[in-house]
Amino acid sequence: MNPPADLAVVGAGPAGLAAAVTAADQGLSVTLLDAGERPGGQFHRHAAGEAHPDTRHGRRHYAPRARRLEEHRRTGRVRHLPAHHVWTVVPHPGPGGAAWTLHAVAGPDETPATVHARAVLLATGAYERQLPFPGWTLPGVLGAGGAQALLKSGPVLPGRRVVVAGSGPLLLAVAGSLAAAGVRVPAVVEAADYTAYARALPVLVRNPAKLTEGALHGGALLRHATRLLTRHAVTAAHGTTRVEAVTVTRLDRDWRPVPGTSRRVPCDVLAVGHGLVPQLELATGLGCATRRTPDDTPALVVDADQATTVPGVWAAGETAGVGGADLALTEGEIAADAIAHALCGTPRDPRRTAALTRRRARLRAFADAMAAAHRPGPGWTGWLDDTTEVCRCEEVTAGRVREAVTEYGAHDTRTVKLLTRAGMGWCQGRMCGQAVARLAGEPPAPDRRPLSCPVPLGHLAALHTGTGPADPTAPTTPTDLTNGGTP
Amino acid sequence: MTPYRFTFDGTPLTAVPGQTLAAALWAAGITSWRTTRHQRAPRGAFCFIGTCHDCLATVNGRPNQRACLLPVRPGDTVTTQEGTGHEPTRQATGRNTIQEGPGHEPAR
C-alpha cells in the first residue's frame, strides 16, 4: 500500500492541475487522480496520437503546468493516476495522519484502486446542461461540448453541416472551432439575448480579456458566414436513423416558442447544450453544503480559501461554480496555498494571496453575470410535446412526467422519479434532472448519488467484507449499481 | 503511428492510437451502435465525456462499455449493443422482441 499523500486531488483539468503542481511546489506530496488518460480535463484536450493539446489556451496555460507536473512526477512528489474514476471519498483516519480514503475504478479493466490522504481537493468539473426537445435522442444530435471534444481529441469532424444551439458562451467557441476546421455552420442558435449582458456593464469593463474573447469568436463567425440567431431555439430535430434537419423557432423573453416563427434548417449534426452543471456527487456524498448560482444551478459553498463546509475538503474550478478555465486555475492555486498552510504551516505570501483573491473576485463576477444572462427561461417546457422523451435512459416521455404531476400529485423530482423511473437509468438523472425538476415545478436539486460512476459489484463486496481492495484478478461483474437497481 | 485495427459488427475499421471507440466509429461515419431497451431506438454518443451513457457498446463480449471514454485497443471486437446488453440478442433467441424483466416496468 502506498503511504498516505498529504493531498489527494480529484480531477486534472485546469483547477486540479494548477492545484496539484502548486501544492507540490510547496513541498506537499500529492496524488492526482483523473478519469482522463492524460491531464488537461475537458478544456485542454489532447488529439489522439499527439503529445500536447493544440489550442491557443493550451500553449499559454497548460504547457508550463504540464511541465511542472512531469518534473514533480519524476521526483516522486506527485503521483499521477490517469484513467482513475473516483467513485467515492470516505472519512477514514489512518496511519501517517491519513484522514480520507478515495476509492477509484482504474483503466478499461476496471481494477479497484484506493488512495489515502490527509486532505482532499475536489476539482471534478462540470457536465453540460441539456434541455430536451422532440428528436434530441436521434443519432447525430450531440452535446455542444461533445462536438468540441470529438473535434479536439478525436480528432474527427462531427459532420459536414452542423447547427450549434442552446445557450451560453461555449456555443460561440464550439461554432468557431468547427468553422475553423472546415465544417459548415449555418447557424448558432442562442436562446438568451446578449442585451442581458448590458445589465452587468461594470463587470464587463473589468474583464476586457473576456470581451476580446467574445469579439474574436464573433469575428470568426462573421468570416465563416455563420448566422447568430439570439432568442431562438432548436425546438425539434428531424430524421429517421439520424438527424437530417432541425426546426428553429423564435422565443419570447421567457424562452416560450413564438407560434408561426418556425423554420427548417437542414444539417447532418446538431451540437446542443445549455450551459454547464457542476459535478458534485463526491462532495455532496461527504456532506459539503451547496449554494445556488445565478442560473439556478447548485454549486459548492466555499470560503475565501476554497475550503468546503467539511473540514479537510477543498474545492476548485467548476465544482465551486461554473466560471471557466482562468477562474479554475486561480481557484486551484488559492486552494493549494491554503492547504499547504493548513497542513504544513507553509507561510502564505500576502501579496500573492491578495492578487489571486482580486483576480478570483473579478472572474467570479463575470461568471455570475454570464450565468444570469443565460439562465434558462421558464417557457422552454413549451417546446416539449407529450411524446418527447425527457429521460433518455429510461425513455420516459414528457407526457408521463406531466401525468405524474397532474394526475398523481407529484410535486418534486423524487416522486416523479419513483412514479415514472425518470432519472433512474444509466446516467442517474444527469441528462434529465434539470428538465424533470422544472416539469415537477421545483428548482433543480444538488446531485445526491452514492456512487459517482459505475462500479463493479465485486469492488463493493470486497469493501463490505473488509478484505480491502478486491482481488484484481477476480472476475468482475460489469453490472453497476448506479442504474437504480436494474441489471 | 500505425493505426489500430478493430472490427465493428464484423466490419474491419481502423483507429488512431489513443483514439476513443466513439471517435473511431464516428470517423467511419457510424453514429449509432446501440438500441434502447424499450423502443429499440438507435443511439450513439451524445455527451462524449462519459456522463450520459448513451454510447454503450459491447466490446470483446463485454457489454455496457462507454465508447466515448474507452481507447480502442488493437484487435478489439465491437458489436452493437441491444437493450441492457445482458439479454440474449434477437439473433440468438430468434424472437423479434426481447422479454423485459419486471425491474423494467414503470412503477405505476
Q: What is the CATH number of the domain that holds A412?
A: 1.10.10.1100
Option in A108, A145, A487 nearest B49 (CB): A145
Is A466 a residue whose pLDDT tops 60? no
A142 with B46: Cβ contact below 8 A: yes
What own/partner pairs with CB < 8 Å and gap ≥ 24 does A404-410 have? A404/A440, A405/A439, A405/A440, A405/A441, A408/B108, A410/A440
Q: Mark whether A16 and A135 lie in a shared domain.
A: no
Grid cell listed for A225: 458566414
Predicted local distance difference test score (pLDDT) of residue A452:
87
pTM: predicted TM-score of the whole model, two decimal places: 0.89
The mean per-residue pLDDT over the stretch A359-382 comes to 94
Give yes or no for A400 touching B (CB within 8 A): yes
Interface mutation vs chain A, best among B39, B47, B55, B104, most A CBs within 10 Å = B47
Is A486 a residue whose pLDDT tops 60? no
CA distances from A283 to A89, A320, A342 (A): 8, 10, 20
Q: Where are the alpha helices (DSSP H) in A188-243?
A: 201-205, 208-223
Predicted local distance difference test score (pLDDT) of residue A50:
67
A275-296 tens-digit pLDDT:
999 999 999 999 999 999 999 8
User: How many angstroms separate the CA of residue B36 from the nearest CA in chain A?
Assistant: 8
A49 with B41: Cβ contact below 8 A: no
Contact criterion met (CB below 8 Å) for A367 and A242: no
Q: Distance between CA atoms of A167 and A267, rounded to whole angstroms?
A: 19
Name which of A188, A107, A92, A118 is nearest A147 in CA terms. Answer: A188
Q: Where are the beta strands (DSSP E) in A259-306?
A: 263-266, 269-274, 276-278, 290-292, 298-300
Asked if residue A232 is part of any domain, the answer here is: yes
Predicted local distance difference test score (pLDDT) of residue A53:
56
The pLDDT-based confidence of A214 (bands split at 50, 70, 90) is: confident
Q: Distance between CA atoms of B82 and A417, rounded to whole angstroms?
A: 24
- A263-266/B4-8 β-pairing: unpaired
Is A131 a residue whose pLDDT tops 60? yes
Q: Distance between CA atoms of B22 and B51, rounded to whole angstroms?
A: 14
Contact criterion met (CB below 8 Å) for A280 and B51: no
Find out whether the peptide bond into A53 is cis, omega within 30 degrees of 0. Answer: no
Q: Is the dihedral of CA A342, A345, A346, A351 positive or negative?
A: positive
Name which of A290, A368, A304, A299 is nearest A334 in CA terms. Answer: A304
* CB atoms near residue A27 (< 10 Å): 12
Position A151: which residue type?
L
Q: Mark whether A157 and A238 lie in a shared domain.
A: yes
Q: Say whether A255 sits in a helix, a strand or coil.
A: coil
Number of domains comprising chain A:
3
Predicted local distance difference test score (pLDDT) of residue B97:
36
Is A373 a residue whose pLDDT tops 80? yes
The mean per-residue pLDDT over the stretch A11-28 comes to 97
The pLDDT-based confidence of B104 (bands split at 50, 70, 90) is: very low
Q: Mark whether A136 and A268 lie in a shared domain.
A: yes
The DSSP code for A61 is I
Mean pLDDT, chain A, whole residue set:
89
Contact criterion met (CB below 8 Å) for A456 and A110: yes
The pLDDT-based confidence of A446 (bands split at 50, 70, 90) is: confident
Asked if residue A368 is part of any domain, the answer here is: no
* CB atoms near residue B105 (< 10 Å): 9
User: Could you list the residue range(s) of the whole structural domain that residue A94 is in?
Assistant: 5-127+276-348
The pLDDT-based confidence of B88 (bands split at 50, 70, 90) is: low
B47 with A145: Cβ contact below 8 A: yes
Give the residue with greater pLDDT, B92 vs A409.
Answer: A409
Is A470 a residue whose pLDDT tops 60? no
The DSSP code for A59 is I
Is A21 a residue whose pLDDT tops 70? yes
Query: What is the number of alpha carbons within 13 Å of residue A168 lying toward its C-beta?
Result: 26
Q: Mark whether A105 and A32 lie in a shared domain.
A: yes
Asked if residue A86 is part of any domain, the answer here is: yes
Q: Torsion angle of alpha carbons A32, A19, A303, A84, nearest 10°?
A: -20
Predicted local distance difference test score (pLDDT) of residue A356:
98
User: How many angstroms separate the CA of residue B90 from the nearest CA in chain A?
Assistant: 18
Asked if residue A203 is part of any domain, the answer here is: yes
Q: Distance between CA atoms of A50 and A54, rounded to whole angstroms?
A: 8
User: Which of A223-232, A318-327, B86-95 is modeled with the greatest confidence?
Assistant: A318-327
Q: Mark whether A173 and A288 lie in a shared domain.
A: no
Predicted local distance difference test score (pLDDT) of residue B105:
37
Asked if residue A63 is part of any domain, the answer here is: yes
Listed in sequence order, the residues at least 6 apart from A178 whose beta carbon sits closer than 8 Å to its beta carbon are: A147, A151, A157, A158, A162, A164, A185, A271
Give the residue with greater pLDDT, B75 vs A223.
Answer: B75
The interface predicted TM-score (ipTM) is: 0.87
Q: Mark whether A151 and A254 lie in a shared domain.
A: yes
Predicted local distance difference test score (pLDDT) of residue A487:
32
Q: Mark whether A101 and A206 lie in a shared domain.
A: no
Radius of gyration of chain B measured on its C-alpha atoms: 15
User: How many angstroms separate the CA of residue B39 from the nearest CA in chain A?
Assistant: 8
Q: Distance between CA atoms of A334 and A329, rounded to whole angstroms?
A: 9
Asked if residue A446 is part of any domain, the answer here is: no
- Per cent of chain A over pLDDT 90 is 72
Q: Mark whether A338 and A247 lie in a shared domain.
A: no
The mean per-residue pLDDT over the stretch A139-147 comes to 96
Predicted local distance difference test score (pLDDT) of residue A223:
85
The pLDDT-based confidence of A121 (bands split at 50, 70, 90) is: very high
Which residues of chain B are within 8 Å of residue A395 when distances are taken between CB atoms? 36-39, 41
**Rounded (10°) angle between helices A325-344 and A350-373:** 140
Q: Mark whether A9 and A87 lie in a shared domain.
A: yes
Residue A243's domain is classified under what CATH number?
3.50.50.60
Listed in sequence order, the residues at least 6 apart from A3 whose beta carbon sits closer than 8 Å to its beta carbon are: A96, A116
Query: Exposed/middle/buried for A337, CB within 10 Å: 0-12, 13-18, 19+?
Result: buried
